Amino acid sequence: MRLSFEPLDRSHQRAYQAYLAKCPEIASDYGFINLFAWADIYGLEIAWTGELAFIRQHRPEAVLWAPVGDWHGTDWAAWQADYADDFKTFIRVPETLADIWQQSFGDRVVLAEDRDLWDYLYDARELRELKGNKFHKKKNLVNQFKKKNTYTYVEMTGELADQAMALQNDWCTWRACESLRQLEDENQAIMKTLGSWDSLAGIMGACIFVDDLIVAYTIGEMLSPDTLAIHFEKGCPDYKGSYQAINQLFLAHQPDTVRWVNREADLGDEGLKQAKLSYQPVDFLKKYRIRF
């Protein structure tokens, strides 16, 4: 048998969330907001079975992502036998599923760590409060921003999303997005998300105004009842501390039930890696490339 795929779009969100809720470990890649944002860039497709949802990308290579569903309750040997033509290579496989497959198949699977795709995990309370020496520089930047600017923090709406596009356009001009494929792809994903705000269930975000201008914004979603993923975050370089301020304010406005923050991977970018490490991650959600 072969899996039957169709292009992923926003109409799949409700059905997909039911599968995702059964996953024992959810990487940032698998939040529906993230899938929707990057669907055009990666050429994402989805296939449904009674137990699992499968994601496949076509760009830059045709390859499957980890299946989504109840990993512990799945008879993997039967799945691999029935769908042998599809069970060849998987990427972005969270560690829990990698362990399950290794136990199920032994040396029939080859695992390779993909450090560039590991998610950075943080204690939400620490990022709200920024207490102690390890957060001294971050707190100083937040305080500088708050003292120097008469600002307003506002939760994102569809109307404000339109205004956030103006900051995103300016940010791309500052960073010369058109000269770097990675930034241009991210810009396309952000614009698609902001432009679809009111039609996406579960999307979260906020922005900071100084006078009548949005100087920072953030976009995320809940991956589980206690874990918030931050997918996109941008600040205006003319306002020192804007990045640190939107991060701290957004988390400060979340309920205490949000215990963990997933700030995605560094994609092998050294600057991004250092920025993510500077926020003192408490753990990593490891991911693997797996070949059957």
What is the pLDDT at residue 84? 86
Cα(48)–Cα(16) distance, integer angstroms: 9
pTM: 0.96
Q: Is 103 left (phi over 0), alpha (psi -120 to 50) or beta?
A: alpha
Crossing angle of helices 136-148 and 242-252, rounded to 10°: 100
CATH top class, domain 119-264: alpha beta
- pLDDT of the chain along its 292 residues, tens only? 889 999 999 999 999 999 999 999 999 999 999 999 999 999 999 999 989 999 999 999 999 999 999 999 999 999 888 888 888 999 999 999 999 999 999 999 999 999 999 999 999 999 999 999 999 999 999 999 999 999 999 999 999 999 999 999 999 999 999 899 999 999 999 999 999 999 999 999 999 999 999 999 999 999 999 999 999 999 999 999 999 999 999 999 999 999 999 999 999 999 999 999 999 999 999 999 999 9
Q: Does domain 5-117 have CATH number 3.90.1150.10?
A: no
Q: Phi/psi of residue 168, each to 5°?
A: -60, -40
> Under a CB-based contact definition with an 8 Å cutoff, are residues 170 and 23 in contact?
no
Q: CA–CA separation, 264 vs 137, rounded Å?
A: 22
Where in the chain do CATH 3.40.630.30 domains reside? 5-117, 119-264
Answer whether 64's CB lies under 8 Å from 92's CB.
no
Q: What share of the chain is helix, strand, coil (3-state, %, to 5)?
A: 45, 25, 30
pLDDT at position 33:
98
CA angle 142, 147, 149 (to 5 degrees): 95
The CA distance from 127 to 147, in Å, is 19
